[in-house]
Amino acid sequence: MMLNVGHIAKTYGMLPSQVIDVATTYDLMIADVMSSWEEYQYNKAMGKTTIPNYSKQELLDMLNKRKKNESSD
């Protein structure tokens, strides 16, 4: 949480104590999502994709396997 507070403070030119006084949990959530998105974009630009590259058929096979398992429960 303190990293998020520091990130928000740096982004908006505030002291961390000011952020603690005025920020809401929604602000912290947005900062976390924004930080994750920036990291994803950086990794993508560097060629380090973290998202598996499944084919359409592989995804359909996984879905059908899951559906089959759910119907047998």
Domain boundaries, the chain: 2-72
pLDDT of residue 73: 63
pLDDT digits (tens, 9 = 90+) for 8-60: 899 889 999 999 999 998 988 998 899 889 998 999 899 887 778 899 999 99
pLDDT of 51 reads 75
Residue 65 in tokens? 């396997």
pTM, full prediction: 0.57
What distance in Å separates the CA atoms of residue 6 and residue 16, rounded to the nearest whole number?
Answer: 6
User: What per-residue confidence (pLDDT) applies to 1?
Assistant: 64
